[in-house]
């Protein structure tokens, strides 16, 4: 580490902290694995059109329910479509739903939660009751309802998943805001006459960031599984668009003839969500001041 | 404790009330003529007129709401697309789902708490790593897929358990359990994974607490120290977690019943949507929301019984 | 025959950052009905020494030495044997009454637990005896308190409950680890009164671990001063206060606030790291009397007057070198 690096990190505490966090992260092999695998899935999702050997709907009636071969690494399904390609294309739906629904949930939940936690009083009570109402409807029922009103589609499924994840995030954001408002630097800012908006944006939000990031990496796998569930039930992605959930639904009719059709998409969901979970766990450890390594 | 519960009950009532409004508006928001939505698919003018009358569809919304909710409180949730009373359908199918949910909670809690305690006591050792890894897997695996895999393994390949269907307990107790075993396991997996992690974390906190040191210094056996002193304080966390997971449990029940073809309340929701039976959907969602709120209240009761700080002197919780 | 005879007790912790020698070759005896004050700063090993006797330390601790209690060799005893002694013949009172009692159980339940475990009392008998014990430690309305939870009691009352719990089986030794540190000064006096009372009425030997010399002056018969894991001075209480020999003891006495004593003397410097065994006097870096000798050799304990031991190359009551 050169002299210039040393001094600049001495001067800049943020850079120093980031370096420390990076070091701690690198000591955790499982988290690294999680990160790598998750990124792989994301890359597959983005570049599916380029990577996949076949298009998702290209049928081959000469090779129905075929076992794995040179042409079809994972075999074909009941319509002769290449399973591997469909898995790669399916990653799009899952990652899209997973990431965007979480972003939606955050965009909605964080401001609401911060306001509830920071201002307290009647606004907190109202938000608490509304959150409870949202929670009273298990997310599947909400998704079902939305599908009924708006028609089933990936977009609607994403919205439903976002709404489902929001209440828990509101609780987390509220808890953080509640704790942070008692911090000395916040009180100092108030005493100096800073406007509420400035305090919330400059002081409260950045310090919640690590908790929010951890929550996000944990919410994404839940949303990925959620999308699979909704598509499985016919409430999300509509065939012929590929989605792991749709593939599982189709596989149900062929359980005795070709059980492997049910295995592949399930394993894909499992590994994808496991990687995000590992990443989330690792990040939580890294950011927790109580862990020593 | 009285004050605490009263406040919780009051909040619960408000939530149920607000939920009913949401349900009400949701149904009215459906595209098309509400009368058609509410069951007059056959378009018979007489039936449509009767529906308009009974739901007061020509009156202003608040009046409609009052009409609907007062009927609902009396148990009259209307007739579904097949002209069967919704209330009756719900009452016949609800116990099945409740039995499934009960078994799932039982399985999930026993496995989750046991695994969590063992992992905490044997921290850092192989059994801890194994349990933690299993919990992570349990969290990441999609449960409906697990169900499919189990059907393939146990029903199709090994023929040990039936792949689907349901038999009532009174008719055939063994058969009933056989049919519900896989579904309960599938449904309970998610719960047990979450519980295992939370229990382990709570137990690690308890085990390093001063009062555990005191218990050891008193000469109590390790079993009593862990099983009585440490565990008791962790149970408070466990109850909270179960309460939080109930929503996921209901969602899970819907899919589980779908896969294993169990004629329960969860499947009713799907059927209602697929068949565009909005009267049924309305009743089902209302009951689901109200039921969930009630169960949460029960969890709060359990929590207050376990936490002496609430039970005695009614101190407000954080 | 002394009640407790400890020889060459050493405790080493194996931490991620290396070994920590918390206690180094500690030896002392405790006679029946005697009150021994153990004094030293936080981290000097006083609590650890006594917890090690009953194997109450975490697994990372390695304990060596000999500790004879009433004919039993404690450090070589099985876990079962130790469990029979804990709470029954040697009892502990810990520093934090807030957290040392289990918040989920009634106070009476926690005391009765000891009675039923060691003395096999029935529920009814245990309850009666518990009420007696609460009365013994001067808690008012004991019949009502028995059914209360820890959070319903004040700090002073909780500590009395801890003492009652420790005395339940009439132990030979009561080890009180900083029993008054977490309490208000006014409450402290009450607890110390109680300790004196216990010694008078029950004849229990008491080990009073504290960093507060004032507390020791009140109650103890003999005092043992520890520094950096070693015993540096030991004397009957009056002798220690009248003629302190080790510069650390002198420093401690200078730091006790007394009316009219003017400015408090502090001891400059900090407690040394315990990562390695000392090759010189551990106090040398902070000692006004330090010289070549104390910086190159470890001082051994010597008897400077009857029953008065000190480990110092330059003992004496004055702050300056003799």
Interval C216-253: pLDDT, tens:
888 899 999 998 888 889 999 998 888 888 888 888 88
Interior/surface letters C218-254, b for 16+ CB within 10 angstroms, e for the rest: bbbbbbbbbbbbbbbbbbebebbbeebbbbbbbbbbb
Among A137, A259, A278, beta carbon nearest to B19:
A137
Count of structural domains within chain A? 1
Among B29, B140, B254, beta carbon nearest to A274:
B140
Give dist(CA C2, CA C71) in Å, integer: 10
Among B11, B149, B273, beta carbon nearest to A144:
B273
Q: Are B211 and C165 in contact (CB < 8 Å)?
A: no
The larger pLDDT score, comparing residue B30 to residue B19, is at: B19
Question: What was the pLDDT predicted at B38?
Answer: 62
Q: Would A186 be classed as within a structural domain?
A: yes
ipTM confidence: 0.83
Q: Would A86 be classed as within a structural domain?
A: yes
**pLDDT tens digits, residue range C297-320?**
888 888 888 888 888 888 887 655
Residue A141: phi, psi to the nearest 5?
-65, -40
Q: Would A225 be classed as within a structural domain?
A: yes
Q: Are B145 and A270 in contact (CB < 8 Å)?
A: yes
Question: What was the pLDDT predicted at B43?
Answer: 64
Q: Is C155 part of the contact surface with chain B (CB cutoff 8 Å)?
A: no
Under-50 pLDDT residues of chain A: 1, 9
* Residue A146 Cα, gap to closest chain B Cα (Å): 9
Give dist(CA A260, CA A269) in Å, integer: 14
Q: How many CB pairs under 8 A join A and B?
A: 124
Q: How many CB pairs under 8 A join B and C?
A: 78
Q: Are C100 and B214 in contact (CB < 8 Å)?
A: yes
* Residue C237 Cα, gap to closest chain B Cα (Å): 29
DSSP string, C225-272: EEETTEEEEEEEHHHHHHS--SHHHHHHHHTS--TT--SPPP--S-PP
Q: Are C101 and B211 in contact (CB < 8 Å)?
A: yes
CATH number of the domain to which A114 belongs:
1.10.3720.10
A278 contacts in B (CB within 8 Å)? 136
Question: What was the pLDDT predicted at B196?
Answer: 92
- What is the rounded average pLDDT for all residues in chain B? 81
Cis peptide preceding A240, ω within 30 of 0: yes
- Least Cα distance to C102 among B241, B234, B310 occurs for B234
Identify the band that residue C322 occupies on the pLDDT scale cut at 50, 70 and 90: very low
Give dist(CA B183, CA B261) in Å, integer: 10
C47-76 residues touching B, CB cutoff 8 A: 54, 56
Q: Would A5 be classed as within a structural domain?
A: no
* Residue C101 Cα, gap to closest chain B Cα (Å): 5
A132 contacts in B (CB within 8 Å)? 11, 15, 293
In this structure, is the dihedral angle defined by the CA atoms of residues C165, C167, C168 and C169, taken in order, positive or negative? Answer: positive
Q: Going edge to edge, which strands form the sheet with C35-39?
A: C90-93, C173-177, C205-210, C35-39, C222-227, C230-236, C308-310, C302-305
B231 pLDDT above the threshold of 70: yes
* Residue B280 Cα, gap to closest chain A Cα (Å): 12
Identify the band that residue B36 occupies on the pLDDT scale cut at 50, 70 and 90: low
Q: Would A259 be classed as within a structural domain?
A: yes
C91 pLDDT above the threshold of 90: yes
Q: Would A6 be classed as within a structural domain?
A: no
Q: Are B220 and C117 in contact (CB < 8 Å)?
A: yes
- What is the rounded average pLDDT for all residues in chain C? 86
- Exposed/middle/buried for C44, CB within 10 Å: 0-12, 13-18, 19+? buried
Best probe of the B interface among A29, A135, A156, by most B CBs < 10 A, is A135
Q: Is C99 part of the contact surface with chain B (CB cutoff 8 Å)?
A: yes
Percentage of residues in chain C with pLDDT exceeding 70? 95
The whole-angstrom distance between residue A292's C-alpha and the CA centroid of its chain comes to 28
In this structure, is the dihedral angle defined by the CA atoms of residues C249, C251, C253 and C255, taken in order, positive or negative? Answer: negative
* Residue C24 Cα, gap to closest chain B Cα (Å): 23
Q: Are A248 and B285 in contact (CB < 8 Å)?
A: no
Identify the band that residue B315 occupies on the pLDDT scale cut at 50, 70 and 90: very low
Among C99, C113, C148, beta carbon nearest to B218:
C113
Q: Residue A212 sits in which domain range?
A: 16-54+72-287
Question: What was the pLDDT predicted at B31?
Answer: 65
Question: What was the pLDDT predicted at B39?
Answer: 58
B18 contacts in A (CB within 8 Å)? 129-130, 133
Q: Which chains have 3 or more CB–CB distances shorter than 8 Å to chain A? A: B
**pLDDT tens digits, residue range B54-96?**
666 667 777 777 877 888 777 777 777 677 788 888 888 888 8
Percentage of residues in chain B with pLDDT exceeding 70? 89
B42 pLDDT above the threshold of 70: no
Question: What was the pLDDT predicted at C182?
Answer: 78
List all residues 6 or more positions away from A88 whose beta carbon is below 8 Å from its beta carbon: A44, A48, A51, A52
**pLDDT tens digits, residue range C110-137?**
999 999 999 988 999 999 999 999 998 8
Question: What was the pLDDT predicted at B33?
Answer: 63
Q: Would A203 be classed as within a structural domain?
A: yes
Q: Which residues are registered as beta bridge partners of C173? A: C90, C205
- Least Cα distance to A111 among A9, A221, A201 occurs for A201
Question: What was the pLDDT predicted at B316?
Answer: 36
């Amino acid at each position: 580490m050169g002299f210039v690096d040393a001094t600049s990190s001495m001067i800049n505490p943020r850079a120093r902290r980031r370096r420390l966090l990076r070091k701690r992260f690198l000591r955790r092999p499982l988290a690294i694995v999680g990160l790598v695998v998750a990124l792989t899935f994301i890359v597959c999702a983005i570049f599916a059109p380029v990577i996949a050997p076949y298009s998702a709907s290209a049928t081959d009636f000469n090779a129905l329910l075929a076992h794995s071969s040179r042409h079809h690494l994972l075999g074909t399904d009941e319509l002769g479509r290449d399973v591997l390609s469909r898995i790669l294309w399916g990653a799009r739906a899952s990652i899209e739903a997973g990431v965007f629904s979480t972003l939606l949930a955050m965009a909605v939940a964080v401001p609401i939660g911060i306001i509830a936690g920071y201002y307290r009083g009647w606004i907190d009570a109202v938000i608490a009751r509304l959150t409870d109402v949202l929670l009273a409807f298990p997310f599947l029922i909400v998704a079902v309802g939305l599908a009924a009103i708006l028609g089933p589609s990936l977009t609607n499924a994403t919205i439903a998943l976002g709404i489902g994840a929001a209440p828990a995030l509101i609780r987390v954001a509220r808890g953080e805001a509640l704790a942070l408002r008692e911090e000395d630097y916040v009180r100092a800012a108030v005493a100096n006459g800073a406007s509420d908006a400035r305090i919330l944006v400059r002081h409260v939000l950045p310090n919640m960031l690590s908790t929010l990031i951890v929550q996000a990496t944990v919410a994404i796998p839940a949303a990925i599984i959620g999308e699979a569930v909704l598509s499985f039930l016919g409430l999300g992605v509509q065939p012929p668009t590929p989605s792991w959930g749709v593939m599982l639904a189709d596989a149900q009719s062929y359980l005795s003839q070709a059980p492997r059709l049910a295995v592949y998409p399930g394993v894909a969901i499992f590994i994808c969500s496991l990687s995000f979970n590992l990443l989330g766990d690792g990040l939580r450890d890294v950011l927790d001041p109580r862990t020593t390594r | 404790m009285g004050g605490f519960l009263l406040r919780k009950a009051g909040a619960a009532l408000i939530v149920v009330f607000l939920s009913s409004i949401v349900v009400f508006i949701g149904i009215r928001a459906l595209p098309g003529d509400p009368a058609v939505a509410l069951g007059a698919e056959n378009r018979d003018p007489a039936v449509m007129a009767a529906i308009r009358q009974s739901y007061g569809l020509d009156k202003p919304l608040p009046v409609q709401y009052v009409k609907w909710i007062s009927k609902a409180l009396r148990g009259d949730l209307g007739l579904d697309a097949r002209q069967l009373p919704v209330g009756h359908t719900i009452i016949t199918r609800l116990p099945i789902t409740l039995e499934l949910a009960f078994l799932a909670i039982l399985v999930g809690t026993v496995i989750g708490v046991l695994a969590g305690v063992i992992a905490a006591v044997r921290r850092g050792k192989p059994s801890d790593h194994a349990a933690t890894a299993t919990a992570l897997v349990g969290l990441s695996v999609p449960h409906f897929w697990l169900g499919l895999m189990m059907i393939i393994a146990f029903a199709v390949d090994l023929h040990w358990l039936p792949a689907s269907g349901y038999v009532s307990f009174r008719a055939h107790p063994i058969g009933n359990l056989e049919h519900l075993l896989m579904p309960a396991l599938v449904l309970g997996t998610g719960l047990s994974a979450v519980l295992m992690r939370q229990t382990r974390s709570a137990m690690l906190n308890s085990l390093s607490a001063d009062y555990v040191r005191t218990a050891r210094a008193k000469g109590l056996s390790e079993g009593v120290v862990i099983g009585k002193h440490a565990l008791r304080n962790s149970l408070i966390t466990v109850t909270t977690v179960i309460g939080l997971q109930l929503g996921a449990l209901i969602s899970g029940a819907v899919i589980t019943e779908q896969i294993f073809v169990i004629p329960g309340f969860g499947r009713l929701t799907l059927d209602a949507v697929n068949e565009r039976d909005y009267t049924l959907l309305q009743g089902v969602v209302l009951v689901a929301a109200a039921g969930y709120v009630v169960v949460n209240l029960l969890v709060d009761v359990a929590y207050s019984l376990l936490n002496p700080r609430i039970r005695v002197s009614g101190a407000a919780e954080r | 025959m002394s009640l407790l005879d400890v020889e060459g007790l050493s405790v080493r912790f194996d931490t991620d950052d290396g070994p920590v020698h918390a206690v180094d070759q500690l030896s002392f005896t405790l006679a029946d009905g005697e009150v021994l004050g153990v004094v030293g700063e936080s981290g000097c090993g006083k609590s650890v020494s006594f917890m090690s006797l009953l194997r109450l330390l975490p697994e990372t601790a390695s304990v060596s030495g000999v500790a004879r209690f009433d004919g039993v060799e404690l450090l070589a005893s099985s876990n079962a044997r130790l469990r029979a002694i804990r709470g029954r013949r040697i009892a502990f009172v810990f520093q934090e009454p807030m957290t040392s009692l289990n918040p989920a159980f009634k106070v009476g339940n926690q005391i009765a637990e000891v009675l039923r475990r060691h003395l096999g009392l029935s529920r009814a008998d245990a309850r009666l005896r518990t009420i007696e014990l609460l009365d013994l430690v001067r808690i008012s309305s004991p019949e009502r308190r028995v059914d209360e939870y820890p959070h319903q009691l004040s700090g002073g009352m909780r500590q009395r409950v801890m003492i009652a719990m420790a005395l339940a089986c009439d132990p030979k030794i009561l080890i009180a680890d900083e029993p008054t540190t977490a309490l208000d000064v006014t409450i402290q006096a009450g607890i110390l009164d109680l300790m004196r009372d216990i010694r008078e009425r029950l004849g229990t030997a008491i080990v009073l671990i504290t960093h507060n010399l004032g507390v020791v002056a009140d109650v103890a018969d003999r005092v043992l001063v520890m520094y950096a894991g070693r015993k540096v001075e030991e004397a009957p209480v009056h002798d220690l206060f009248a003629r302190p020999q080790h510069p650390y003891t002198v420093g401690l006495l200078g730091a006790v606030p007394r009316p009219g004593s003017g400015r408090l003397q502090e001891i400059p410097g900090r407690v040394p790291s315990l990562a390695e065994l000392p090759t010189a006097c551990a106090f040398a870096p902070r000692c006004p009397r330090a010289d070549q000798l104390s910086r190159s050799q470890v001082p051994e304990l010597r008897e400077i007057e009857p029953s008065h031991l000190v480990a110092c190359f330059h003992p004496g009551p004055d702050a300056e070198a003799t």
